[in-house]
């Protein structure tokens, strides 16, 4: 049975420019599996950007959207699943959203939560594209699941 989403998380997602399509958590890829796919010891990014790079956030956003497009992360209506960014998002689980702005999602997440980190997956739970912070770099991590 899906858990009800805490309304604070709905507000965080909305401030990030994401429209909550369904107001309850969606059963998909287990949250722990997603965390391991992004933060496991053997994880390598498909792209990385140094914190000190000029326009690092803009480049991070461009690369994240590039990989999302390549993966066909979004459904036909532009929907995808996201774990609400920030502390406690894993307790909420996956929420179906639509990006109302269509650009700069990592930058918007950083403005709202203080960090660009988030994990998004396709509606079928088989494709993941995430932003992670590692040492002095921003990472874009991509995973495909059977």
Residue 104 resides in a domain: yes
**Three-state DSSP state, 63:** helix
Residue 4 reports pLDDT greater than 60: no
Q: Which domain holds residue 118?
A: 7-26+45-144
**37 inside domain:** no
Residue 61 falls inside a structural domain:
yes
Over the stretch 11-70, which tens digit does the pLDDT of each residue have?
999 999 999 998 666 778 888 899 889 988 899 999 999 999 989 999 999 999 999 999
CB-hemisphere CA count at 13 Å for 63? 20
- Segment 107-122 shows an average pLDDT of 95
Query: What pLDDT is recorded for position 59?
Result: 95
Give the pLDDT band of residue 82 (cuts 50, 70, 90): very high
- Residues 90-105 have a mean pLDDT of 89
Asked if residue 2 belongs to a domain, the reply is no
Residue 98 located in a structural domain: yes
- Is a pLDDT exceeding 50 seen at residue 75? yes
Give a yes or no: residue 109 inside a domain. Answer: yes
Number of compact structural domains in the chain: 1
Average pLDDT value for the chain: 89
pLDDT value at residue 25: 66
Q: Is residue 31 part of a domain?
A: no
Q: Give pTM, 2 decimals.
A: 0.90
Q: How confident is the model at residue 101 (pLDDT cuts 50, 70, 90)?
A: confident
Look-up: residue for tokens 């995973």?
A: 143
What DSSP string runs through 3-62? PBPPHHHHHHHHHTTEEESSSB-B--S-HHHHHHHHHSTT---SEEEETTSTTHHHHHHH
138 part of a folded domain:
yes
- Residue-level pLDDT at 28: 83
């Amino acid at each position: 049975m899906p858990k009800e989403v805490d309304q604070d998380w709905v507000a965080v997602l909305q401030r990030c420019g994401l429209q909550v399509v369904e107001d309850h958590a969606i059963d998909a890829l287990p949250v722990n599996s997603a965390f391991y796919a992004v933060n496991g010891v053997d994880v390598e990014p498909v792209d990385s950007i140094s914190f000190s790079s000029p326009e690092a956030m803009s480049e991070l956003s461009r690369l994240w959207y590039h990989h999302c497009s390549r993966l066909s992360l979004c459904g036909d209506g532009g929907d995808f699943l996201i774990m609400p960014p920030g502390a406690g998002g894993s307790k909420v689980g996956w929420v179906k959203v639509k990006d109302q702005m269509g650009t700069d999602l990592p930058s918007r997440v950083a403005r709202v939560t203080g960090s660009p980190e988030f994990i998004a997956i396709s509606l079928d739970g088989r494709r993941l594209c995430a932003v992670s912070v590692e040492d002095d770099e921003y990472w874009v991590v991509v995973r495909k699941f059977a």
